[in-house]
Amino acid sequence: MQTDFQKYHTTLKKLADVEHAMAVLSWDKEVNAPGGGAELRAQQIATLSGIAHDIFTNAAFGDLLQQLNESELSDFERRNIVRTLHDYQRAQSFSQDFVIRRSRAVSAAYDAWLKAREANDYQVFREALANLIEIKREEASLVGYDDHPYDALLDEYEPSMRVAQLDVLFSDVRRQLVDFVRELRQRPQVADNFLRQHFAKDDQWNFGLHLLENMGYRFENGRQDISPHPFTTSFGASDVRVTTRIDEKNFGSMTWSCIHEGGHALYEQGLPVEYYGLPAGKYLSLGIHESQSRLWENNVGRSLPYWEAHYSNLQTRFPKQLGAIDVKMFYKGINRISPSLIRVESDELHYHFHILIRYEIEKALLEGKVEAAELEDYWNSKYKEYLDVDVPDAKQGILQDIHWSYGSLGYFPTYSLGSFYAAQFFQQAQKDIPELRQQIQQGDNSALLAWLREKVHRHGQLHSADDLCTQITGEPLNFRYFMDYAREKYQGIYGR
């Protein structure tokens, strides 16, 4: 006979099965599905969303959670129950009708976003986005909040994080990072024109596969495909897939998306498969998830030791384009500091300006200070204010991100949180693995991956983000580590 905890786990495995079936449909929609099937696919996903909601919010399951919460449990069992109760109480805020309406609104918005990008016209997306914004305002109201409606949405992606904390964090970004970047931009610029030559699609693709394999990504438990916006999706630790996009005139687009998504995928492949369905078998938060992608993309993938290991391979694939460029010139070029229009192609310092803009816009949307009809002009004004760039068209502006078409308001701040966690984690990894730099220089990432498996991946949701950070580094998230990393790296690139 099953114990109560085993009954609880059985229910969560059933829920995970339905959620991952939805994930398969969503992955297929973005990678393979014909455009004419969008309406029926939206209906299928909406139906499964309703089924998943029913499984999780079932009164009998709620009673079981309360009974377990009042029982004698092991520490492991208690941590799982506490996290599930948090999620259960949030889910109880929504009726099945609301869940289905939200799912349909997301599917309609995604389809409209694709068409708008193809037409390079925000107006094609505007109505669907306006509907989705109203849904998200309703969601915040249903969940409830103490200080700001954005808190209710943020909690889905970064539990316990609040606007009051983010306002302080982004104030630090303005006070420290903005001035440092301005100082760098006054120095002689490094060359990166060699990155914008013709790099054949197939050769880029094969190099990306090489980088993923070298990181430790298990292709027997995953695959890579092409999509309009790179992403990682997981159907459980034994099937984790990534996508990339390739621009034949920009080498960096594919390379950084492969390494970035590879970092996400390594986290998912490293979660304990025996805890499938349980909080212990799920990623902790999107900020921690992003710490894994940013650590690999920036702290490792944009480092000199990394390219000392891989540059000869790259030159062999592209002798005409890179044969005359030495590894140090390449390293400086891939770390050039320059304001840009596209978030995912931004350098790692200006990147946080892009996140700041989206954070301010999302807050304004939730507050009702700006509406979808005026959003494109509002976006463009923010880019002029923070990056001093003029947005030439919608595709390079407000239509560049997929997130709003998914209804993912509250998601963007986790990108900056991830970079800051990554800097703090990587500094600790260097302390714990004294030969780490030399290992990376030799193309050996096994010790780093093992360290991440031990320190981050295996814990699932058994700790809060702050507790995990403290457990790993001795203190909660501290912006100082990112600034120390940035100053050391970029002072070396741009001269002191």
Nearest to 244 by CA among 208, 206, 215: 208
Question: CA triplet 91, 92, 96: central angle to 5 degrees?
Answer: 80
Q: Give catalytic residues, as residue numbers.
A: 261
pLDDT band at residue 13 using 50, 70 and 90 as cut-offs: very high
Token pair in block for residue 102: 């939200």
Q: What is the 3-state secondary structure (H, E, C) of 121-165?
A: CCHHHHHHHHHHHHHHHHHHHHHCCCCCHHHHHHHHHCCCCCHHH
> What integer pLDDT is reported at residue 96 of this predicted model?
84
pLDDT tens profile 157-178: 999 889 998 998 999 998 899 8
Domain ranges (residues) in the chain: 4-149, 163-494
In 408-445, which ranges are continuous DSSP H helix?
A: 413-432, 436-441
Residue 397 pLDDT: 97
* Per-residue pLDDT, 179: 87
Residue with the bigger pLDDT between 312 and 95: it is: 312
- Residue 496 predicted with pLDDT over 70: no
Say what percent of the chain tops pLDDT 70: 100
Sign of CA dihedral 22, 54, 459, 273: negative
495 pLDDT higher than 90: no
Is residue 379's pLDDT more than 70? yes
Instruction: Using the predicted structure, report yes or no on whether residue 154 has a pLDDT greater than 80.
Output: yes
Residue 177: the pLDDT is: 92
Chain-wide mean pLDDT for the chain?
Answer: 94
The alpha carbon torsion through 82, 84, 88, 89 (nearest 10 deg) reads 20
For the segment 87-93, the average pLDDT, to the nearest whole number, is 90
pLDDT of 291-347, one tens digit each?
999 999 999 999 999 999 999 999 999 999 999 999 999 999 999 999 999 998 889
| Single-letter residue type at 146 | D
Class of domain 163-494: mainly alpha
Residue 35 pLDDT exceeds 90: no
Q: What is the pLDDT of residue 143?
A: 93
How confident is the model at residue 322, as a pLDDT? 97
- Predicted pLDDT at 345: 80
| Confidence (pTM) | 0.90
Mind listing the pLDDT tens digit for each residue in 437-478? 999 999 999 999 999 999 999 999 999 999 999 999 999 999
Burial track 11-29 (b if 16+ CB lie within 10 A, e otherwise) = bbeebbebbbbbbeebbeb
